[in-house]
Structures are given as structure tokens and as C-alpha cells.
Amino acid sequence: MSLTLNEEQQLLKDTAREFVQKNAPISHFRELRDLNDDKCYSQDLWKKMADLGWAGILIDEEYGGSNFGMVGLGAVLEETGRNLVPSPLISTALLGASLIQLAGNENQKKDLLPKISEGKLTTALALDEGARHDPLNISTFCVKKEKNLVLEGRKTFVVDGQSANLLIVVARNSEPNNKEESDASRSMYLVDPKKPGVKITKISMVDSRSYCEIIFDKVKVNEEDRLGEQNVVGIIDDVLERAQIGISAEMLGSALEAFDQTIQYLKDRKQFGKPIGSFQALQHRAAHMFSELELTKSSVQGALNAIDENSNDKSRYASLAKFKAGETLNLVSNEAVQMHGGVGVTDEFDIGFFLKRARVAEQIFGSSDYHLDRYAVLSEY
């Protein structure tokens, strides 16, 4: 398994870095935060990303994508992570595109995937229902009542749920108190967020991104709205691992940028007539961060390759990457704020944004503790 990018992958990464630096500096994120828009991202910027082909990186060519693979998407996510760029890349280009391509029938693929590739359709996965990531703990159900399928339940911490044109809802195939059917049986449904009975409430988080709670109150759906077969637990697990690795790549980018800004500050800030970076104690802390970042790079790159190569160990790689990225971003963002001193927590400096993003991103798709435990179980400890 190679831990370096080939020529095409490196070109994509370089293009992404140039595009993000020009079109979405951190001042762009600051402007979006101050606008307090429910979408929490720029539709014009998303259209430009789609025009570059980023929305279709994981989609087959016959449906308008490039099928460039997870390594390609990971390179893009790393660069957007450097500038904290809010976009539907994970919720749509990764989660939505993967779920539809892996689980959808031919009609669903032909209808939805080209729209995603063109940037005309955004999606959100409605999965978790509790305070922590627990994909097996599902109470939302969809059962037949009279002539219709009826969806009932509640989803929380839905990433980009307020701005999505289409919700992908995971539900049980029986009511929670029905013990005649397997608790493991799950289906996915394509739900228009404007349907009667769908209530969406924004959840405000410190990273100023888009999250929401969704209540489904006797929402009528058709059999044609079902995505995939009657039980799609295996596909959901596979796509969640892609998402865990994708957000790990974004977190790596954020950690690298926070580190670079901190090193520059250590060179510029003077105390007692010397740059504070000349003090040995700060050098030791910077060296520790550098070492952890190198380990994280290898973990994330290995996980991205594992998906593209369909490795038998991809589940372990996914948890390793998410654990390591979460730990490293927390370390670097903490140290960055501390080394900046009091100004690090003021709104005048950008460095505090990385600490806020670290606290939320570490929880998405499972915290570091969740993935440490999952890695141990998968390794039969």
C-alpha cells in the first residue's frame, strides 16, 4: 500500500489548495458565520466546486462523475479542512453519492447521481438518534399502515440537514416494541424535507456549521422511496467507514493549518528581545505536535487507500484514522491557542476557530473513544 500520491492525485490536491486559498480563505468562513444563514455554506462556492468535478469524485462516469476514488476526495477534503470551508462535500459528495451508488436501483442512480455531480442536489443522512454516535440504536421505524408506508421517529445531529434537498433516513422495518422481527433489520428511505410531517429544527454548535434535529410525524412514503433492499445494514456500515475516513482527512487539514499558523506565530512573536520560538520548552511542544501530525498523515492516507483497494482491513483503518485524527486535532488546536496566549481565544485571531471545529468534528461519526474501542474489538482484543 502506497502512502504517497500519484501524479494525478497530487495535481488534484494542488488544484484544490489553489482554489481554496483564492475562493475560500478563513475570512470566507468568518463572513458566513456572521451572516448566520441556515445553510451555513455558500451556494455559489458549491457550484464552483461541482464545476471542478468535486461533487462527482466518487460517482461512476456513466452517471456524470469521475470515479476518482477516496484518495482523490481525501486530498480535496484535507485542503478544505485547512481553511475550515463549510460545504456539502461530506454530506453529499461522500455520504449521499456513496449510499445511492451502492444501494440504489438503476432508476434512482440515473435520476439522482447526475444531479449530485452537477451540484444541483444536496443530501443529508439522518441516522443517529442519541447524544452519541450509535448506528445500531435506531427507534425510528417505517411500517405499512393501510395503503401507505408511514415513517415515524426522531433524528438528531443531522449534518447539513437544514440545507439538504433530499434526506436519506435510516429506519427499522418494524415498530420498536415488535419483537417478531429482527432488531438488526434496517431500510433507507429517500424523503423530501418539505413533506408534510417533517419538522426540522436547527442545532447551534460552536463550529458554526449546519446541524439539525428532524422529527418525522406520520410521514407518508412510497415503496419507490426505499433506497436499496429491505435490509441494508452492511451498506450503511461501509459508507459510514468512508465518512469516518473522509472527515479524518478534513481534520488532518485543519490540524496542519493550525500547526503552520502556530509555528509562524512562534517566529514572529518576541519576548525578552527574542522570538518565543527560540525557547526550548516551546520547541519541545512543537516537535511533539509535528510527530503526531506525521503519524496522522500515515493513518489517514492508509485508510483512504484501504477503501480504494477494498482491503479486508478497511474497517480497522477507518477507526484508526478517526481516532488518530481526533486526538491530533485536539492536541494541536489546544497547543495552538495556548502558544498564542490570551489573543488565541479572541475573535480577532483565526486560531480559535480550529479549536471550536476540533471539539465538534471529533464527535461526528464516532468520537476517539468510540473508535479506540471499535479498533480493539475488530482486532479481537
**CATH number assigned to the domain comprising residue 198:** 2.40.110.10
In the chain (381 residues long), the average pLDDT of successive 10-residue segments reads 84 96 95 88 96 97 96 98 97 98 96 97 97 93 89 97 96 76 79 97 95 97 90 93 98 98 95 93 97 98 96 97 98 97 90 97 97 96 86
Task: Give me the DSSP letters along 132-169.
Answer: S--TT----EEEEETTEEEEEEEEEEEETTTT-SEEEE
Q: Counting beta carbons within 10 angstroms of the beta carbon of residue 270, is it exposed (0 to 12), middle (13 to 18) or buried (19 or more)?
A: exposed
* 211 and 286 both lie in a single domain: no
pLDDT value for 90:
98
pLDDT value for 184:
64
* 274 and 309 both lie in a single domain: yes
* 76 and 138 both lie in a single domain: no
* 355 and 251 both lie in a single domain: yes
Cα distance between residue 210 and residue 162, in whole Å: 7
* 238 and 326 both lie in a single domain: yes
Give domain status of residue 2, yes or no. Answer: no
Give domain status of residue 263, yes or no. Answer: yes
Give domain status of residue 161, yes or no. Answer: yes
* 133 and 240 both lie in a single domain: no
Domain extent for 318? 233-378
* 165 and 258 both lie in a single domain: no
* 293 and 361 both lie in a single domain: yes
**Alpha helix segments (H runs only) across 216-270:** 233-268
* CATH number of domain containing 365: 1.20.140.10
**What letter does residue 64 receive in the DSSP assignment?**
T
* 67 and 135 both lie in a single domain: no
Give domain status of residue 82, yes or no. Answer: yes
Residue at a domain's end among 96, 121, 146: 121
pLDDT value for 155:
98
- The tally of domains found in the chain comes to 3
Dihedral sign for Cα atoms in the order 40, 76, 315, 323? negative
Give domain status of residue 268, yes or no. Answer: yes
Give domain status of residue 1, yes or no. Answer: no
Question: Do 67 and 59 form a contact (C-beta atoms < 8 A)?
Answer: yes
Give domain status of residue 374, yes or no. Answer: yes
Q: What is the pTM of this model?
A: 0.95
* 145 and 278 both lie in a single domain: no
* 336 and 241 both lie in a single domain: yes
* CATH number of domain containing 81: 1.10.540.10
* 246 and 215 both lie in a single domain: no
